[in-house]
Chain A
Amino acid sequence: MNKTILIDLELCVGCGACSVACMDQNDSFPERGDGSFRRIYQIEEGNFPESFIQYISASCMHCEDAPCLIGCPTGAIYRSGGSVQVDRDICIGCHSCALACPFGVPRYDEENKMRKCNLCEVRVENGLKPACVKVCPTQALRFGEPNEIMTEREHETSAGLIEAMRRISRG
């Protein structure tokens, strides 16, 4: 199975470090309209004291059955292993991918070419983690095979429970 980025919503605190790291990695310049490929959503519900707040760090999901790829007229959007990539040389800026994407990911640069998360292809090829994953202070973002990450999470949870029980018994 291919590696991907998973987010643990319980751990995301909306600090935005991932978004800044993404901009740094991809030479995004807000002053010319480039946003970060990774965006932070803050969803609030209810009123105090019954209020609820959730942060979500989201970027391209590199969908297995990617709607953007299916709707791309030139084949500029293509699959490369576990990621969905864009060949900007043949992107015609038709914006079909914008209406296809269920996550609101595609953005367009000054030349009207689509830009989005490329799963830090160059970093990963060189054995590094994606920039957003590397800087995440709470490890809400992780990079790996989904099953491996879930197993890792279960082990961490079990270890945490055992430690808590030890403390209680020592109590």
Chain B
Amino acid sequence: MEKIAIIGNGCASVACFKAMRSCGYDGELHVFAKDGGAVYNPMLTTYYASSRIGWEIMFPYGCGNEIYDRYGVTLHEHSAVTALSVKNRSLTTEAGEFDFTKCLIATGASPLVPPFPGSDLPQVYVMRTAADAVKLRGAMEKKPRRALVVGASMVGVKLVEMFRQMGLEVTLADMAPHIFPLAAHAETAHRIESRLEGMGVALRFDAAIDRAEAATGGIRAWFKGIAEPVEADILLMCIGVRANIGFVNGDEIPVDKGVLVDARMEAGAPGIYAAGDAAQGRNIQTGRNEIIGLLANARRQGTAAGRNMAGVPCELPGEVLHNITHFMGIDFIGIGNVRDYDQAEAREDSGCFRQIFYKNGAVVGANFIDLYENSGVFKTAFVRDLIRGRTAGNPRITPVQAYLLKSM
């Protein structure tokens, strides 16, 4: 009888065991969760913290254990895995050793907080888990007046939105020169920044946090090379996340920033797979393995891993960098590479802005502001082009892209 161990209790894990059962796997399935509780979606935590959704909405598979019962899964709560041995086909938790035949690593990621002086002050918060959301919601009940958000990321701007909607004075800071430093070109970014400033958000860029100290009723934060500190009642650290792979032995399983996987989600060791924010899958555009931390990507990777673990061959072509974030009445969309290009075009009309980036005549990336309508068509055409290899040395773009470039 096969015995499957799924390390981590997130959306990729659920996608994996659902796929295995749908492929006819009828052996044992065990999920090892670091904490207790149901599968939450990290993307929804800011919505809960701002009271825009109820507690139960944060859990896309329900608040209870029904999903595990329905799929015949044994859930091991409060069972953080501390070691994984490929050779012995076993993993270690506080409760002891557990043998498996195949294993999925789907441990997700955790917020990255650099160890600056004051990073452990009680006024410093992060936003990733359901528990983080509860903690911040509790903090909001104390009616803070000023918030400092460090990290102009997708999570960062959702927090800025939340704080402004709740009437707080907000400062958004980042060590990068502009907002969305990975997904946005400077020109697009500056347009978004102008709109944020128009809505009363104070911005600080080229500002790396140096230290923080408790001040009367709050916190005072200094930035490297900047004399004037920012004072706030709460500080949110949103500079990024790091894959939870500390238990993985790099001598047995190839790792970089995450667990390196192939198109089948196999992790370079027999019977070991990885999916979600802990997995470093293929970026179709660069050809390199990169972590692309998106819910849909986690679900697809989990499903592909599950099928392969159940003996049904399944390969994923990979993914491209893409983001859409809707905040403070703004839609920002970033697709592909907006840095390495030899030609760019920009157009603004009817209050919408678009930038398309080309290299060797082929589209390599795009930024859109308030142009969500056909963004999915554009992204789909872009990905199909990459999969078919048309970008390599081929200066043409698809008819769909050409049509959209005219109509967007």
- List A residues at the B interface (Cβ < 8 Å): 43, 67, 70-71, 73-75, 90, 92-104, 106-107, 112
Within 8 A of A (CB), among B284-300: 294-296, 299-300
Return the contact of A74 from the options B53, B326, B379, B403 (Cβ within 8 A): B53
Within 8 A of A (CB), among B360-401: 372-377, 379-380
C-alpha spacing A43/B400, complex, angstroms: 10
C-alpha spacing A98/B371, complex, angstroms: 10
Q: Interface-forming stretch among B39-47, B71-79, B109-117?
A: B39-47
C-alpha spacing A139/B323, complex, angstroms: 40
A104 and B376 within 8 A (CB): yes
Q: Determine the residue in chain B with the shortest Cβ distance to A43.
A: B403
A73 and B60 within 8 A (CB): yes
Mask of B40-60 contacts with A, CB within 8 angstroms, 1/0: 010110010000110001001
Residue B322 at the A interface, CB < 8 A? yes
A103 and B376 within 8 A (CB): yes
Return the contact of A95 from the options B41, B60, B331, B403 (Cβ within 8 A): B331
C-alpha spacing A70/B326, complex, angstroms: 18
Residue B272 at the A interface, CB < 8 A? no
Q: Chain A at the B interface: mostly helix, strand, loop or mixed?
A: loop
The interface residues of chain A lying within 8 Å CB-to-CB of B373 are: 98, 104, 107
Name the distance in Å between A20's Cβ and chain B's nearest Cβ: 20
- Contact A74/B295 with A95-B331, A98-B372, A103-B377 known, Cβ cut-off 8 Å: no
B376 and A101 within 8 A (CB): yes
> A-B pairs with the 3 shortest C-beta distances?
A71-B296, A102-B380, A101-B376
C-alpha spacing A115/B57, complex, angstroms: 19
The interface residues of chain B lying within 8 Å CB-to-CB of A67 are: 296, 376
A74 and B44 within 8 A (CB): yes
A70 and B376 within 8 A (CB): no
The interface residues of chain A lying within 8 Å CB-to-CB of B380 are: 102
C-alpha spacing A98/B378, complex, angstroms: 11
Residue B186 at the A interface, CB < 8 A? no
B295 and A73 within 8 A (CB): yes
Residue B152 at the A interface, CB < 8 A? no
Residue B324 at the A interface, CB < 8 A? yes
B333 and A99 within 8 A (CB): yes
- Provide a sorted-by-A list of 15 A–B residue pairs whose CB atoms are within 8 angstroms: A67-B376, A71-B295, A71-B296, A73-B60, A74-B60, A94-B43, A95-B325, A95-B372, A97-B376, A98-B375, A99-B322, A100-B376, A101-B376, A102-B377, A104-B376
A99 and B41 within 8 A (CB): no
- List B residues at the A interface (Cβ < 8 Å): 41, 43-44, 47, 52-53, 57, 60-61, 294-296, 299-300, 322-326, 331, 333, 372-377, 379-380, 403
Max chain A C-beta neighbours (<10 A), residue from B53, B60, B322:
B60
C-alpha spacing A5/B77, complex, angstroms: 46
The interface residues of chain A lying within 8 Å CB-to-CB of B377 are: 101-104
B52 and A92 within 8 A (CB): yes
A73 and B44 within 8 A (CB): yes
B295 and A99 within 8 A (CB): no
B296 and A74 within 8 A (CB): no
Max chain A C-beta neighbours (<10 A), residue from B299, B333, B376, B377:
B376
The interface residues of chain B lying within 8 Å CB-to-CB of A107 are: 373
Q: Determine the residue in chain B with the shortest Cβ distance to A94.
A: B326
A102 and B44 within 8 A (CB): no
Q: Determine the residue in chain B with the shortest Cβ distance to A99.
A: B324
B296 and A70 within 8 A (CB): yes
Q: Determine the residue in chain A with the shortest Cβ distance to B56.
A: A90
Name the distance in Å between B176's Cβ and chain A's nearest Cβ: 23
C-alpha spacing A90/B41, complex, angstroms: 14
C-alpha spacing A127/B101, complex, angstroms: 51
Return the contact of B372 from the options A43, A70, A99 (Cβ within 8 A): A99
Q: Determine the residue in chain A with the shortest Cβ distance to B323.
A: A99
Name the distance in Å between A49's Cβ and chain B's nearest Cβ: 21
The interface residues of chain B lying within 8 Å CB-to-CB of A75 are: 60-61
C-alpha spacing A112/B57, complex, angstroms: 17
B47 and A92 within 8 A (CB): yes
Q: Determine the residue in chain B with the shortest Cβ distance to A100.
A: B376
Q: Determine the residue in chain A with the shortest Cβ distance to B15.
A: A70
The interface residues of chain B lying within 8 Å CB-to-CB of A92 are: 44, 47, 52-53, 57
Name the distance in Å between B359's Cβ and chain A's nearest Cβ: 22
